[in-house]
């Protein structure tokens, strides 16, 4: 072994690995993008289909949803009894009355034989002549038909069941972090006008500019999908629900526990509830939900539908038709209103077809972002890394603020926190290993 003479000029090795907070952020953005990208692609492709599912559903099941008979509508109680004849052994769960002519009334039933309580047989009745137009199992509170339910399961769990929900949650929890880190890297690059990768018009530089521009443009949409998507997730969704309950961010429900002697016939109770709700001012399409157990209070709510931004609710004594409580949407906490609107935006319902087109464009934009990211990865290997640009050290207060935000977010979304911790441990180990190799290389000739 020979050592370098003290009179020999020191060897200068161009850095191949960015150091400091900005370097760590660049590596985090790069590796998270590469590892999470397949999940983002899957979620975006299924999201593209799911975005149009409300419209697809109306076309696919138009026979069940369309009323063809003319003339005045029969009493609601008669419509309900006609549906009950299809499932005489099942209890009613919910009745939905159409918002306009040409639409059928739907009556949901509780069926213990279904895979879960979220699946409910639904009978569709022409309100004018009581003809049964369909008997279809719907899914969830959004009353999704089979085609929309299938697309929903694909977007929610990649059709992998409960394990798939964890994969999707991991992607959703990282999407916002990747987007924010990317925008910060773009902003820091704008401060280094002399950087060759920023000024380059060809190869990787061109891909980078397109990737940055598209990422900045889509940032609000990416954050929107992260926030709303996590509300349906397994772990983070449960934590978000607890936070909403603790801060009283949930919609008020009104009176729900009043019991009166005698159990009314369901069809008659629905009729009384509808009459009381209309007299209280509820408009458009409404949902009438049956009580559970011995409670006789029926809940009537203005349904979710395109371009409806308010959902007034009344509870009615099904035996007497007395209104027990009235909860106007204006009384909801602001956070509850925002939650309602954002969820409706996420499922493509709040603004109708325009909403669905915007979601589809957002999904296509995410796919383009991932493609450009992989393209830069490929081009980087062909063109070489070059010398790392020197970055200005972040302000300590800014670093502390980011640290607090990351810790808080990790508590809310544990899958993000655990995967981030794993990355930091691996990154620290790789950095230490490369540093030791560099020291040994300088001492050996």
pLDDT tens, residue by residue, 322-337: 999 999 999 999 999 9
Note whether residue 72 is domain-resident.
Answer: yes
pLDDT of residue 9 exceeding 60:
no
pLDDT band per the 50, 70, 90 thresholds, residue 385: very low
Is 165 in the same domain as 236? yes
pLDDT of residue 199 exceeding 60:
no
- Between the CA of residue 118 and those of 88, 113, 165, 239, what are the distances in Å? 20, 12, 17, 22
Q: Parallel, antiparallel, or unpaired for β 91-97 and 132-139?
A: unpaired
Mean pLDDT of the 20-24 span: 73
pLDDT of residue 20 exceeding 80:
no
- Domain of 271 in residue numbering reads as 251-332
Is 93 in the same domain as 169? no
pLDDT of residue 367 exceeding 50:
yes
pLDDT band per the 50, 70, 90 thresholds, residue 255: low
pLDDT band per the 50, 70, 90 thresholds, residue 114: very high
Is 236 in the same domain as 376? yes
Is 162 in the same domain as 195? yes
Note whether residue 57 is domain-resident.
Answer: no
pLDDT of residue 298 exceeding 80:
yes
DSSP output for 78-109: HHHHHHHTTSTTSEEEEEEE-SSTTB-EEEEE
pLDDT band per the 50, 70, 90 thresholds, residue 190: confident
Mean pLDDT of the 254-269 span: 72
Mean pLDDT of the 376-391 span: 56
Note whether residue 342 is domain-resident.
Answer: no
Residues 64-107 have pLDDT tens digits of 999 999 999 999 999 999 999 999 999 999 999 998 889 999 99
Is 289 in the same domain as 231? no
Note the maximum CA span of the chain: 105
Quote the percentage of the chain above a pLDDT of 70. Answer: 84
Which of 144, 165, 180 delimits the end of a domain?
Answer: 144
Is 314 in the same domain as 365? no
Is 103 in the same domain as 241? no
Q: Which residue has better confidence, 424 or 125?
A: 125
Note whether residue 421 is domain-resident.
Answer: yes
Note whether residue 349 is domain-resident.
Answer: no
Per the CB < 8 A criterion, the answer to whether 270 and 291 are in contact is no
Closest CA to 83 of 111, 108, 65: 108
Average pLDDT, the chain: 85
Is 303 in the same domain as 160? no
Structural domain count of the chain: 3
Closest CA to 290 of 90, 88, 98: 90
| DSSP three-state, residue 316 | strand
Is 407 in the same domain as 438? yes
Is 366 in the same domain as 429? yes
pLDDT of residue 33 exceeding 90:
no
Which of 144, 174, 192 delimits the end of a domain?
Answer: 144
Note whether residue 394 is domain-resident.
Answer: yes
Note whether residue 337 is domain-resident.
Answer: no
CATH code, domain with 297: 3.10.450
Per the CB < 8 A criterion, the answer to whether 337 and 329 are in contact is yes
Instruction: Supply the pLDDT for residue 198.
Output: 47
Is 123 in the same domain as 192? no
């Amino acid at each position: 072994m020979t050592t370098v003479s003290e009179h020999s000029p020191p060897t200068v090795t161009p850095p191949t690995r960015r150091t400091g907070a900005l370097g760590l952020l660049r590596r985090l953005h790069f590796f998270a993008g590469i590892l999470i990208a397949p999940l983002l692609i899957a979620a975006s492709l299924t999201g593209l289909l799911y975005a149009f599912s409300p419209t697809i559903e109306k076309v696919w099941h138009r026979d069940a949803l369309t009323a063809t008979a003319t003339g005045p509508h029969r009493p609601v109680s008669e419509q309900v009894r006609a549906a009950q004849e299809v499932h005489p052994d099942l209890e009613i769960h919910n009745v939905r009355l159409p918002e306009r002519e040409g639409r059928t009334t739907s009556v949901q039933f509780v069926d213990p034989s279904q895979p879960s309580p979220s699946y409910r047989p639904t009978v569709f009745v022409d309100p004018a002549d009581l003809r049964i137009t369909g008997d279809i199992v719907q899914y969830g509170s959004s009353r999704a038909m089979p085609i929309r339910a299938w697309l929903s399961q694909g977007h929610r769990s990649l059709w992998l069941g409960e394990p798939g929900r964890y994969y999707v949650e991991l992607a959703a929890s990282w999407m916002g972090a990747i987007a924010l880190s990317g925008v910060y890297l773009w902003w820091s690059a704008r401060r280094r006008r002399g950087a060759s990768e920023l000024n380059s018009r060809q190869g990787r530089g061109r891909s980078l500019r397109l990737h940055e521009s598209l990422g900045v443009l889509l940032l609000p949409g990416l954050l929107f999908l992260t926030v709303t998507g996590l509300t349906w997730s397994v772990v983070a969704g449960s934590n978000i629900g607890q936070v909403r309950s603790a801060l009283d961010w949930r919609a008020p429900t009104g009176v729900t526990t009043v019991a009166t002697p005698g159990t009314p016939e369901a069809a008659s109770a629905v009729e009384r509830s509808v009459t009381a709700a209309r007299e209280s001012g509820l408009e458009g399409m409404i949902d009438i939900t049956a009580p559970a157990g011995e409670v006789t209070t029926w809940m009537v709510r203005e349904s979710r539908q395109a371009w409806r931004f308010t959902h007034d609710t009344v509870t009615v004594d099904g035996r007497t038709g007395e209104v027990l409580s009235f909860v106007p949407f204006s009384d909801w906490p602001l956070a509850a209103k925002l939650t309602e609107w954002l969820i409706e935006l996420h499922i493509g319902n709040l603004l109708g077809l325009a909403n669905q087109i915007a979601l589809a464009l957002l999904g296509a934009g995410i796919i383009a972002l991932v493609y450009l990211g992989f393209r830069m990865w490929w081009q980087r290997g062909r063109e070489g890394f070059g010398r790392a640009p020197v970055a200005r050290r972040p302000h300590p207060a800014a670093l502390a603020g980011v640290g607090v935000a990351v810790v808080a977010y990790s508590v809310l979304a544990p899958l993000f926190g655990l995967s981030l911790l794993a990355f930091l441990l691996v990154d620290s180990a790789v950095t230490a290993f490369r540093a030791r190799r560099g020291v040994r290389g300088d001492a050996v000739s």
